[in-house]
Amino acid sequence: MPSYRYPVPPASEITPRNIFLNRRSFITGGASAIALAASGVNVLAQDQDARKLNAVASALSTDEAQNSYEDITTYNNFYEFGVDKSDPARYANQLTTDPWTIKVGGLVNNPREVGIEELLTGYDLEERVYRLRCVEGWSMVIPWVGISLASLIDKFDVQGSAKYVAFETLERPSEMPGQRAIFPVLPWPYVEGLRMDEAKHPLTILAVGLYGEVLPKQNGAPVRLVVPWKYGFKSIKSIVAINFVEEEPTATWHKQAPREYGFYSNVNPNVDHPRWSQKTERRIGGGLFNQRIDTQMFNGYEEQVGSLYENMDLTKFF
Ligand SMILES: Nc1nc2c(c(=O)[nH]1)N[C@H]1C(S)=C(S)[C@@H](COP(=O)(O)O)O[C@H]1N2
Ligand SMILES: [Mo]
């Protein structure tokens, strides 16, 4: 058993669902900070008492044992803060996440820059427990809190010509030591992309929390993408821009080493990375964890996403 389980709030803190829903229908028109805090969507909270998020359990969750909060928040890839797994936990606290806005643009009828609280207003947060499989060969099971990206896409009245969604991470060298290196390990800002059908797939979420609380900065606060059937690097952190585009957008690791990282980057045990096998993975953690297990096609989500790639040669479109 992981040492941290989903924190159960005391009964006094749980808003009865009917009151919660009434309050929500009341606030969908115009967002005031007070109403937002009441709805539980206070994803920028820094103060420990305010960090709890109301989330509804999702049927799309895996029931596998979850990694501990400690594993999930101390073993990270977030190169803006350094390349060691322990760097993000050490340095990400330098990042200012409040205020936070996201520029939504490209092929949409109402492009705009929107505050993260406003962006999330009107949605139920869900808890989605997903496997995350890193291209490096390790994996975790993480209880994210978020909303489906599809519901958000609907809000922006996307034009029919849009075929892809492009995402961009914050570029702020003053708070991101990895961006101050004289020889940068990656081109900044970190960017990623999805095909529109992938972006609209019900498994794809924007995460704003984990373990029932506001997202820790090392995990990509205040908002990051989670695409559970793709290698971890597709799940871009600390997003500041979302653009709907016609052509396949570039993606950071693909740009860095196109032979090693394709645009799709679907978890696929049958297509090796040119320098190592992808057939197995090590589940992070102590005790019963830390075992080498077989990697599953599409990270175990083949039934749900296999049809997206039906007529594609996955050795070519890797
Ligand atoms: N902006 C940004 N997003 C990023 C990365 C990064 O370096 N920068 N690393 C990616 C990689 S390689 C992985 S495995 C996951 C790790 O997410 P986690 O630390 O929350 O487990 O974040 C992805 N998102
Ligand atoms: Mo990764």
The pLDDT of residue 115 is above 60:
yes
Q: What is the band of 8 on the pLDDT scale with cuts at 50, 70, 90?
A: very low
What is the CATH number assigned to the segment(s) 12-309?
Answer: 3.90.420.10
The pLDDT of residue 16 is above 80:
no
The pLDDT of residue 33 is above 80:
no
- Ligand nearest, relative to CA of residue 239: 1
Which residues partner with 273 through β-bridges?
276
| pLDDT confidence of residue 287 | 77
Residue nearest to atom 8 of ligand 1 (CA): 78
The pLDDT of residue 288 is above 80:
no
Q: What is the band of 300 on the pLDDT scale with cuts at 50, 70, 90?
A: very high
CA of 77 to the centre of ligand 1 (A): 5
The pLDDT of residue 265 is above 80:
yes
Supply the mean pLDDT for the chain.
Answer: 89
H helical segments located in 208-308 = 252-256, 302-305
Give the mutation target among 77, 223, 239, 283 for probing the ligand 1 site: most ligand atoms within 8 A of CB: 77
